[in-house]
């Protein structure tokens, strides 16, 4: 049904994708199309969400689709959550190559239907999948951006707020680098209501929080036993969509394509960016300590290894 509203496509109706679609529906600023390869899954979840609209107070405007990308045509933003979780016996390279295939095919189909859209990649391994989306969409790099830094930074801020006994709203901090074991919580630029966090929390506790942030996703997986995080990842994706659709120009840590910034060239890496209606409108280069610079270089090398594996297998 054509409504004249903005349109957002969410690809993948699993936990992350469906929760993202629900959060976007509750924003009520756009129509949402939820797409999945499993027959009936997206349609069923869309019907359920539409039925909640009269209760929660949003227009029932979610469309479910089983691989029919014609319904996504003219989308302003495409959120890609598709992909497999790692299974027992599956190597990291196996997972990388399988998700390369999945993300590549859905990106191509969605980009052809919505050639002016901005793509937000959520699928893992995140930084590598951004390269796949960039390649298969043919879009300029500022219109392909990855969600990881918002999620990792949210975990970092929550842990710091608990430790300091303060409101999370007063904690300002961000995480850079690849989305994985090598991520770099930037302690030197972290503060609580303007007070450097190093003045409020002892170094040993800060070190522990940095490590817990790096292990945040694995900690959730270990506790759930049969799944991975989706409430926080979907919230991170929607914060990015808000900034794009509403042209808020938020400064958010996102996986962006670097062209020399931080001495990294031709690689997606988590850095602070201004995110607006045109996508990545500016990449911010912040001052880092020598140790943080070294950690960021190590993280970039880890991401490049994955990209090189994809290139070798292509």
Model pLDDT, residue 4: 79
Backbone angles phi, psi at 286, to 5 degrees: -100, 155
Model pLDDT, residue 258: 98
275 forms beta bridges with 250, 280
In this predicted model, what pLDDT tens digit does every residue of 78-128 receive, in sequence order? 999 999 877 667 666 788 999 999 999 999 999 999 999 999 999 999 999
Model pLDDT, residue 85: 77
Q: What percent of the chain has pLDDT over 70?
A: 97
- Write down all domains in the chain, each with its CATH number in brackets: 6-146 (3.40.50.720), 149-313 (3.90.110.10)
Is the pLDDT confidence value at 153 over 90? yes
Is the pLDDT confidence value at 1 over 80? no
- Taken in order 134, 125, 180, 298, is the CA torsion positive or negative? negative
CB 116 within 8 A of CB 109: no
**How does residue 2 score in pLDDT terms, banded at 50, 70 and 90?**
low
Give the mean model confidence (pLDDT) for residues 293-311.
95
Largest separation between any pair of C-alpha atoms in the chain: 57
Residues forming the active site:
179
Locate 156 and state its tokens: 């970092």
In this predicted model, what pLDDT tens digit does every residue of 243-252 receive, in sequence order? 999 999 999 9
Is the pLDDT confidence value at 19 over 80? yes
- Taken in order 287, 288, 289, 290, is the CA torsion positive or negative? negative
In this predicted model, what pLDDT tens digit does every residue of 217-238 receive, in sequence order? 999 999 998 889 999 999 999 9
**Residue located via tokens 């993202």:** 20
Angle between helices 290-313 and 92-113 (to 10 degrees): 80
Between strands 250-259 and 265-276, the pairing is: antiparallel
Model pLDDT, residue 248: 98
In this predicted model, what pLDDT tens digit does every residue of 50-89 receive, in sequence order? 999 999 999 999 999 999 999 999 999 999 999 987 766 7
Distances in Å between the alpha carbon of 120 and those of 39, 123, 280? Answer: 24, 9, 11
User: How many residues comprise the chain?
Assistant: 314
Average pLDDT across the chain, whole number:
95
Q: How many CB atoms lie within 10 A of CB 193?
A: 11
């Amino acid at each position: 049904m054509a409504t004249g509203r903005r349109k957002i496509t969410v690809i993948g109706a699993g936990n992350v994708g469906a929760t993202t679609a629900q959060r976007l529906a509750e924003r009520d600023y756009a129509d949402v199309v939820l797409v999945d390869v499993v027959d009936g899954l997206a349609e069923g979840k869309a019907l359920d969400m539409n039925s909640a609209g009269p209760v929660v107070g949003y227009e029932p405007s979610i469309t479910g689709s089983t691989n029919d990308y014609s319904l996504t045509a003219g989308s302003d933003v495409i959120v890609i959550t598709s992909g497999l979780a790692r299974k027992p016996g599956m190597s990291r390279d196996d997972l990388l190559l399988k998700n390369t295939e999945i993300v590549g095919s859905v990106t191509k189909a969605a980009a052809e239907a919505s050639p002016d859209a901005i793509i937000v990649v959520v699928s893992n391994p995140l930084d590598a999948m951004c390269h796949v989306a960039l390649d298969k969409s043919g879009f300029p790099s500022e219109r392909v951006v990855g969600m990881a830094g918002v999620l990792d930074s949210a975990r970092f801020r929550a842990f710091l707020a608990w430790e300091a006994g303060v409101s999370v709203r007063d904690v300002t901090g961000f995480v850079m680098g690849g989305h994985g074991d090598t991520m770099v919580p930037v302690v030197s630029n972290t503060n609580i209501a303007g007070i450097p966090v190093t003045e409020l929390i002892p170094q040993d506790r800060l070190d522990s929080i940095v490590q817990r942030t790096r292990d945040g996703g694995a900690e959730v997986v270990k506790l759930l036993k049969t799944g991975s995080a989706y409430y926080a990842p979907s919230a991170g994706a929607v914060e990015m969509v808000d900034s794009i659709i509403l042209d808020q120009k938020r400064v958010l840590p996102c996986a962006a394509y670097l062209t020399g910034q931080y001495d990294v060239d031709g690689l997606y890496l988590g850095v602070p960016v201004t995110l607006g209606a045109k996508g990545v409108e500016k990449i911010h280069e912040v001052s880092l300590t020598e140790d943080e610079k070294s950690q960021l270089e190590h993280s970039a090398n880890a991401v490049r290894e994955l990209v090189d594996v994809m290139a070798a297998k292509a």
